[in-house]
Homo-oligomer: A and B are copies of this chain.
Amino acid sequence: MSSAETAAPAIILVTPQMGENIGAAARAMLNCGISDLRLVAPRDGWPNIKAERAAVGALEMMPPVKVFDTTAEAIADLTHVYATTARDRRMVKPIVTARHAAQEARARVAGGGRVGFLFGPERTGLLNDDLSLADTLLTVPLNPAFTSLNLGQAVLLVGYEWYQAGDATPGSVLEMNGSVPASKDQLVNFFAHFERELDACGFLRNEEARPHMVRNLRNMWQRANLTEQEIRTLHGVVKELATLRQARKSAAESDR
């Protein structure tokens, strides 16, 4: 376990009912690089064979789950606690989105804080007494006409935001898989070959429209982000199509 992982937040499930949900939460946590799972008075005790099955190996890869009698004990070592809640709880308390919480939590951890996320039992959610032990309420913005999320999914979304807040994957890259992007002179050489054959076959015969059509075709090839190999393939395609055209033309002439 790296220090980055040990600094990750605690996930605290308060009086969880179903083992399957505890296991799904553990799996979702490990997906998101979080491994500090704490249970407050789980209904069916601990360990729980249904949780182990649903975790598909995640529990074995995490430190032992800690079990507590009360929420206060489960959060005793933490410095900032977010309480997940779907409903308006008639409390004067800051309420944040999962995304905001994740960014804030990363900053707190970087500053030496120890952060936890509280999740209530499946049907009822957290009790108001538990909420009063938390600094901040957290809700996940979802379709208000259908907010039914199970415990594992709720943990996944909170954990996902935590992971994204510390992840540097670029939003978009062109995956090259060992191919080499074509240089602009290779591309321009292909343009010349392509346009020469289009002139030869008469496709660009309209002199007025020609500059515009050439630019559009060039832009189309530019958008394709061609590789060196693809440029070679396209030279071959154009050559073979032109040869086919010549052969058909010759055949048509000899038929006359």
Q: How far is the CB of A136 from chain B (nearest CB, A)?
A: 8
**What class of interface size applies to chain A in its complex with B?**
35 or more
> Is A157 in contact with chain B by the CB < 8 A criterion?
yes
Distance, CA A100 to CA B171, complexed state (A): 5
Q: Which residue of B is nearest A140, CB measured?
A: B160
Cross-chain contact B171 with A142 (CB below 8 angstroms): no
Q: Is the CB of B177 within 8 A of A33?
A: no
Q: Chain B CB within 10 Å — which of A104, A142, A169, A225 has the most? A: A142
Given A174-B92, A175-B92, check contact A169 B153 (CB 8 Å): no
Q: A91-B177, A175-B92 in contact; A141/B169 too (CB < 8 A)? A: yes
Of residues 187 to 239 in A, which have CB atoms within 8 Å of B's CB atoms? Answer: 225, 227, 230
A30 at interface by CB-CB < 8 Å = yes
Quick check: A92 and B176 within 8 Å, CB to CB? yes
A153-B28 CB under 8 A given contacts A141-B167, A167-B141, A175-B137: yes
Can you list the 10 inter-chain pairs with the closest CB atoms, starting with the nearest?
A100-B171, A33-B143, A141-B169, A30-B146, A95-B175, A96-B172, A141-B167, A90-B177, A31-B142, A100-B172
